[in-house]
Amino acid sequence: MLTALLLSATLTSAQTALLPPAIPWNGASRALMVPASDPWVTPSEATQFRKTPHYDETIAYLNRLVKASPNLKMISLGKSAEGRDVWMVIASKERAFTPDALRRTNKAIVLAQAGIHAGEIDGKDAGLMLLRDMTVRGTKRDLLDGANFLFVPIFNVDGHERFNRWFRINQRGPEEGGWRTNARNLNLNRDYVKADAEEMQAMIRALRTWQPDLYIDLHVTDGADYQYDVTFGWNSAAGYSPAISRWLDTNYRSSVDAGLREMGHIPGPLIFTDDPLAAGVALGQSDPRLSHGYGDARHIPSILVENHSLKPYDQRVLGMYVFLEHTLRTIARELAPLRTAIATERARRPESVPLTWKVPADVQPQQVEILGVESRKTLSPITGDVQVEWLGKPVTTRAPMRVASEVTSSVKPPRAYWVPAAWQEVIAKLDLHGIAYERIAAPREVDVTMYRLSNPKHDTSQFEGHVRVTTTTTPEKRKERFPAGSVRVSTDKPLGTLATLLLEPSSGDSFFQWGYFNSILAVTEYVEDYIMEPMAERMLAEDPKLAEEFRAKVESDAAFRGDSRARLWWFYQRTPFYDERARLYPVAREE
Ligand SMILES: [Zn+2]
């Protein structure tokens, strides 16, 4: 036990010592901190940002704040798997504490969530300071003149309470913190479509109920070292909501960048390359399983914020504070064009919905300024391979920004999808996402296109609790009779794109690919050889064309030739006894 403790102490100090050197920072945003003697000092400020508070202490602070300020109310969005409330604070000058009242203020509604990955908790401590300054302390009261602020301090509440020193090895503070995934080991930021987690179901209901003009997901990223402390981005105009992306690109980013710089922060784009000085910036489109991909698919302006894990905790928390402050200032000024962009996207009925993208090969990428950090490559005696050592010395250069903006596959939305009554689990998910449909009270026959599936390929291991699958689809025109209780999902709706992404089996975030329809991939009726053998003989005798086809198959396909079972099955498939619905995807397209 003693040895274990000694080893633990050595490992924590080793982790701190082994992090790449911090770049000295003393930004103007330090002035936002209040002294420990202030009655409204936040729990993290009181420790000079060495620590972050537990769930109970966080909620206790917020309860005290709400009690002291008429402009705040706290509501529970729902319970986590372990029964904790996921709290949301509503900050409104008009005390508009219902969704309708909030809409009637005609001010922007900004919803920011912290701790979807609970170890990345900067947003929580920033939000506590900001809510205090907007209300009891009064130094930022003007922010509520132009916007309403909805704040979820801890989204992954159960993961947050898996609280200890051993939480994020690549991160510079706080001293202790929570875990990435929830109590069921689900990553909430892969859960927006399938919504397995209770916490996620609560959040999706909140998005529908409170209809934010802007949805912000606050994270901390590791990866390469660079100078930026606050990086943020969204799906580009090649995604699902181009008008909204353009607003973010042109009306939003430069204003928030300027606000951050003024306070001594170093804003940057999302960087997911290992060596930004050489490789620059690579931006993809996020899938709907992720917060900002989901927001894009349902036309909610959505921003992913990634503070940089190698920056000290005080710098990161203050950076997020300034980010949120200038987001509220910018949206207050730019609300009219944002609302126009949202309305444009909700009214748009795209000819095709993109499914995959790539960086265009024939377009020279734009060169952008990169605020990087010098590194050295050495040979590792442990791996025998090259290792990167970050040296903490700022370097500025220009490098390419590659954006996956060329659509490589897409699907044309049908007039409507039909989901048969038997698939209640899928229909319940449509309900959760707020996708409207008509439920038929009596059976109805409809001319539809359905997919026959072939070559299903299941992943060899689970992902987020599901065994995912892809397949080849062959369309078939059919007259299909849908039983009472089946639903017709029109795509001529604001959420038509989201419905397409959920129901089209070639979509990477479809319910099909998440494994909801795995049972239809089984062929469930069989034939005995002693029946099939004489029947095959009769079929050959009665149908010379079939006989020729069989002969050709035997001659050309060696595997088939050597497989007696496959040879009989070939005939079985050509009898009316064979399952006519084998591998028929049950969701149909009404074209
Ligand atoms: Zn994260």
Spell out the SS3 assignment of 47-62.
CCCCCCCCHHHHHHHH
Tell me: pLDDT of 356 over 80. Answer: yes
Alpha-carbon distance of 131 to 89, in angstroms, equals 9
Alpha-carbon distance of 183 to 160, in angstroms, equals 9
Where does the pLDDT of residue 15 fall: very low under 50, low under 70, confident under 90, or very high at 90 and above?
Answer: confident
Q: Which region among 5-9, 287-291, 293-297 has the lowest average model confidence (pLDDT)?
A: 5-9
From the CA of 351, how far away is ligand 1's center (Å)? 34
Interior angle at CA 323, CA 338 and CA 170, nearest 5: 125
From the CA of 118, how far away is ligand 1's center (Å)? 8
From the CA of 221, how far away is ligand 1's center (Å)? 6
From the CA of 9, how far away is ligand 1's center (Å)? 27
Where does the pLDDT of residue 85 fall: very low under 50, low under 70, confident under 90, or very high at 90 and above?
Answer: very high
376 forms beta bridges with 389
From the CA of 171, how far away is ligand 1's center (Å)? 12
**Residue 275: enclosing H or E segment and its boundaries?**
none
pLDDT tens-place string over residues 387-419: 999 999 999 999 999 999 999 999 999 999 999
pLDDT at 518: 97
From the CA of 220, how far away is ligand 1's center (Å)? 6
Average pLDDT in the chain: 96
Where does the pLDDT of residue 70 fall: very low under 50, low under 70, confident under 90, or very high at 90 and above?
Answer: very high
From the CA of 197, how far away is ligand 1's center (Å)? 17
Helix (H/G/I), strand (E/B), else coil: 201: helix
From the CA of 5, how far away is ligand 1's center (Å)? 30
- Ion ligand 1 residue ranges (Cβ < 5 Å): 117, 120, 219
Alpha-carbon distance of 488 to 511, in angstroms, equals 17
Q: Which region among 3-7, 257-261, 438-442, 503-507 has the lowest average model confidence (pLDDT)?
A: 3-7
Helix (H/G/I), strand (E/B), else coil: 432: helix
- Residue 494's CB is within 10 A of a number of other CB atoms, namely 18
Alpha-carbon distance of 256 to 123, in angstroms, equals 16
pLDDT at 1: 47
Where does the pLDDT of residue 37 fall: very low under 50, low under 70, confident under 90, or very high at 90 and above?
Answer: very high
From the CA of 441, how far away is ligand 1's center (Å)? 45
- The average pLDDT across 255-276 equals 96
With tokens 């990477």, the residue in question is 508
Tell me: pLDDT of 8 over 70. Answer: no
From the CA of 371, how far away is ligand 1's center (Å)? 22
From the CA of 154, how far away is ligand 1's center (Å)? 13
pLDDT tens-place string over residues 377-390: 999 999 999 999 99
pLDDT tens-place string over residues 41-59: 999 999 999 999 999 999 9
Where does the pLDDT of residue 16 fall: very low under 50, low under 70, confident under 90, or very high at 90 and above?
Answer: confident
What order of strands is seen across the sheet that includes strand 366-379?
281-283, 386-403, 366-379
From the CA of 25, how far away is ligand 1's center (Å)? 24
pLDDT tens-place string over residues 25-36: 999 999 999 999
From the CA of 256, how far away is ligand 1's center (Å)? 21
Tokens representing 329 are 């200032």
Tell me: pLDDT of 174 over 50. Answer: yes
From the CA of 193, how far away is ligand 1's center (Å)? 17
Tell me: pLDDT of 5 over 70. Answer: no
Tokens representing 141 are 């009261």
CB 349 within 8 A of CB 492: yes
DSSP 324-393: HHHHHHHHHHSHHHHHHHHHHHHH---SSEEEEEE--SSSPPEEEEEEEEEEEEEE-TTTSSEEEEEEEE
Tell me: pLDDT of 504 over 50. Answer: yes
